[in-house]
């Protein structure tokens, strides 16, 4: 995501001829987009993206379970006391 934002920023600076970016080669300005594509290809092929999705879902699931236990007055696994 950072590569994409950097690419959009550098593209805008080059297009509007702002500062020293106006003198840069188009290859340098467009290289963050190539890095973003490489990052996404690696993340998808290595399973990094899927692992992050599963970790986020597990955190949400555990938070929901803890919230329901707290509402029922049962102590949760993270040590929260039930509300009275």
pLDDT of residue 75: 81
Say how far apart CA 38 and CA 54 lie, in whole Å: 22
Q: Which of the 8 DSSP states describes residue 2?
A: H
33-56 confidence digits (pLDDT tens)? 999 999 999 999 999 989 999 999
Residue 82 above 60 pLDDT?
no
Say how far apart CA 17 and CA 13 lie, in whole Å: 6
Q: What is the DSSP string of 17-72?
A: T-GGGGGS-HHHHHHHHHHHHHHHHHHHHHTHHHHHHHHHHHHHHHHHHHHHHHHH
pLDDT of residue 78: 67
């Amino acid at each position: 995501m950072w590569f994409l934002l950097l690419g959009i920023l550098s593209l805008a600076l080059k297009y509007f001829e702002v500062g020293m970016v106006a003198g840069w080669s188009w290859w340098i300005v467009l290289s963050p987009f190539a890095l973003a594509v490489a990052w996404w290809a690696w993340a998808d092929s290595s399973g990094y993206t899927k692992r992050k999705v599963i970790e986020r879902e597990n955190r949400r699931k555990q938070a929901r379970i803890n919230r329901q236990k707290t509402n029922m007055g049962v102590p949760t696994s993270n040590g929260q006391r039930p509300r009275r």
